[in-house]
Amino acid sequence: MITTTVLFSIVVFVALASIAIPDPCATIGGQKWVSPQDLRACYTSFAVDPSIKENIVDVINKTLAFHTSVNYEIAAPEPFTEFVHEDLLKDLARISSQSYPSDYDLHLDVSRTLKRLNDGHCVWINSCYVPLFLNFLPIPLVLLTDSDGAQSVHIAPEAFAVTSAEFLDEIDVWQEALPPAIQLQTLDGAKVLSIEGQNPSVAVDANALITGSFQPLGTRQNSFFSSYQFGDNGWTYIMGDFAQQSLPLNDSVTLVVQRVSESTTDTIKLPYRARINPATVSFTDSASYRAKNCLPILGTNGVDLNETTVSAAPLSETVMKFQQQPPILKTFTKERVNVMLNTIPLSDVALPPSLVPNVPVVSGGFGSGQFYMLSDNKTGVFALGSFGGDTIDTMMSGMLQGLINLKSLGATQLIVDVSNNGGGFICAAEFLHRIIIGPKNTTVPQAGLDTETRDGPLARLIVQQIIQNDVDPTQALLYNPLNWNNASNVAFAADNDWLLPPVDLTINGHADAFSQRLGQECQPNGFTTMPPDEGLFPASNVVIVSNGRCASSCSLFSITMVKEEGVKTVVLGGRSDVQQAYCGTVGGQSTVFSEIDTEVKTAKLKNNSLVSATR
C-alpha cells in the first residue's frame, strides 16, 4: 500500500511537470491585429518587481520637485477648481504602499494619477505598454447640432471613408460582427441613442475624467470625438478617444443607433481591435517582448554633457512620439520649447479627401502650416497644426512670407486655425503675435510672457555648481544664468546665483518656493527672421479658431492675442450646456526627465541625496 501511494505520487508529479503553461505574449507575437483580451493577457502576465516599483515612485517624486504646479493642482484656482484637485504626493504615497495584481495594473494607476492633473506637461509614459499597440473601432463619433440648435452624438459621416483607407485589412472582422442586414458603410452619420445602455453623454463624461491633458471640462469632453489637424504629412484625421485607445481598455461596445433615412433603430455590438504600432520592436514571446520593448534606450535617462559628444539632453524616440508636435531637434539656448505630451501619439491617419479644404492654397506654407484664400477674396486662413516640426528659422520665415502673400492677394482679414495645436517653439508663438499686430508695447520687448520657475533645493545646487565650478562651459543647461534675463530684461551675469533668494509661498497649505520673475526670452536674438515695421492685420480683423485643444505655446499665443489685443476666438464643437475654452493648458519651457537628469549629471550631483538612483 505504501508502494502504491508512492507510485501514485510520482505519476502525478510527472504528469504535472509535462503540462506547458501557455505564454500569453506568444499568442500576439508577430501579429499586426490582435484582440484586446489577448493583448491585455500579455500585459497582465508580468508581476510587479518591488525594486522597480520603488524606483518609479522615487523618480517621479523627485522629478516633481521641478514641476511648477504640484501644489497648485491640489485645488486649482478658478475657473478650474471643480475639475483639478489632485494631491500627487499623497497619491504616490498610496501607490507606494499598495499591492497590484500585475505590473500593467501598476502602470494604469500611475498613469491615471498623473492624468488627474489635467496638465499635458506632466505625463507618465511607460514604453512597455503605451506605444506598442493602439485599440481601434471603425466608427469615430462626432457631436452635431441641427438647425434648431439641438445637439446629438452621431457616427461620423466620413467614418467608412476613414476606415476603408486606414483599416482595410480589418474591415471584414467588423463587418462580420454586424447583423447580416447592416453594412458597415450604412452606419455613416447614424445618430447614437445609447452607448452601453446609457445616454452617450455618460460615456463622454466618463472619458473626460481619465483623458487628462487639458484643464477645461469642455475640452476634455471634446477629446471623445473625432477632429482634424494640419502637420508635416498634410491634413490628418484624429479618431478621438472613443474610437482610439492607447491601451486595451475595452473589448467591445454596444450601441443603439438610428441610421440615416431609417425610422427604426438598430442595436449593434462592435469589437475593438488592437493594431501593433509600426515602431514596436517585433517579438515572439514574453521574454523577447520585455527585452526588446521595455529596456532603457538613448534618451530614457540623461547624460553628463562633459563626458559625451552630444550637445544637449537627448530625447528618446518614445518621448518624441508622444509630443503633440512633429519631432524637432533643438538647442536649448536658442530654441525654447513648450509642448504637450499625450499617451496617444500624433495621428498619421489621412483626412478623407472630401474633408480637405477645397480652396486655393497660397504659397509660403511649411511643415505644420498652410495658407488659403477663401472665395470672398478678402479672408485669408492660416492653418497651423503646431509651433514645431520644422526648424524655427523655417517656421518664422514661412509664417511671415505666407501672411505677406495673403495680403498681396487682397486679404484684409485673417482666420488662424490652431485646432489640436499642442505647442512647440515659444519664440515662434511670440513671433506670430508680433508680425500680425506689429511693434507696440504689447509686443515689444515681448508679448507678456514673463515667467518664473520652481525654486527647490536641487535646482539651487545645480545653479551653484554651474557658477562655482564651471560645469557648463557651452551654456547648454537650463539652469545656466547666462540663458535667462531678469524682469527688466537684463541678462544675468555668469556668476549670478539667480535662484537666491527664493520667493517663498504657501499654496493650498503647502510651503513652496519660486524664482524671481524672469523677463523676455525671444527678442531680438530669438527671432531668426526680421519682423516687419508694421502689423500685417488689424486685431479687429483677426479670429483664432480651435476645438479648445490648443496648448502650451499655442495657449501663449492665443491668450496674449486675446488679452492684449482683443482678438476674437471661435471654438468648434463642444456641448452647448458646457462652457467652452479657446485654449487648454499654458506653461513655459517644458522639459522631460532625461533633460532634468542631464542637468543633474552634468552638475556632478548624481550621488546627492536629493537625486534618485535611476535605473
> Read out DSSP for 273-339?
EEEE-TTSPP-SSHHHHHHHHSS--BTTB---GGGSS-SSPPPPHHHHHHBSS------TTT--EEE
Amino acid at position 43, single letter:
Y
Amino acid at position 201, single letter:
S
Quote the CA–CA distance of 110 and 124 in Å, as a whole number: 7
Cell numbers linked to 546? 480651435
Reference 583, options 117, 105, 110, 120; nearest CA is: 120
**Residues 544 and 558 sit within 8 Å (Cβ to Cβ):** yes
Quote the CA–CA distance of 559 and 218 in Å, as a whole number: 17
Amino acid at position 444, single letter:
V
**Res. 325 pLDDT band, cuts 50 70 90:** low
All residues at 6 or more sequence positions from 233 whose CB lies less than 8 Å from its CB, including other chains: 348, 350
pLDDT for 378 equals 97
**Res. 3 pLDDT band, cuts 50 70 90:** very low
**Tens of pLDDT, residues 377-418:** 999 999 999 998 778 889 999 999 999 999 999 999 999 999
Amino acid at position 56, single letter:
I
**Res. 298 pLDDT band, cuts 50 70 90:** confident
426 membership: H or E segment, kind and range: helix 426-437
Burial label for 9, CB within 10 Å (0-12, 13-18, 19+), is: exposed
What is the chain's length? Answer: 615
**Res. 14 pLDDT band, cuts 50 70 90:** very low
Of 113-122, 224-233, 284-293, 329-338, which gets the smallest average pLDDT?
329-338
Highest mean pLDDT among 92-106, 266-280, 359-373: 92-106
pLDDT for 118 equals 87
Query: Does the pLDDT at position 332 exceed 60?
Result: no
Query: Does the pLDDT at position 594 exceed 60?
Result: yes
**Res. 435 pLDDT band, cuts 50 70 90:** very high
pLDDT for 6 equals 31
Other beta carbons less than 10 A from residue 31's beta carbon: 14
pLDDT for 339 equals 60
Output b/e per residue, 247-268; b: 16+ Cβ within 10 A. bbeeeebebbbbbeeeeeebeb
Q: Checking phi first, is residue 470 left (phi over 0); if not, alpha (psi -120 to 50) or beta?
A: left
**Res. 439 pLDDT band, cuts 50 70 90:** very high
Average pLDDT, the chain: 88
**Residues 340 and 552 sit within 8 Å (Cβ to Cβ):** yes
Give percent of the chain above pLDDT 90: 66
Q: Which residues pair with 505 in a beta bridge?
A: 512
**Res. 611 pLDDT band, cuts 50 70 90:** confident
**Res. 318 pLDDT band, cuts 50 70 90:** low
**Residues 86 and 94 sit within 8 Å (Cβ to Cβ):** no
Backbone angles phi, psi at 474, to 5 degrees: -95, 5
Angle formed by the axes of helices 88-97 and 103-115, nearest 10°: 170
Cis amide prior to 179 (ω within 30 degrees) = no
**Residues 257 and 190 sit within 8 Å (Cβ to Cβ):** yes
Of 117-131, 213-227, 339-353, 449-463, which gets the smallest average pLDDT?
339-353
**Tens of pLDDT, residues 520-562:** 878 877 788 999 999 999 999 999 999 999 988 899 999 999 9
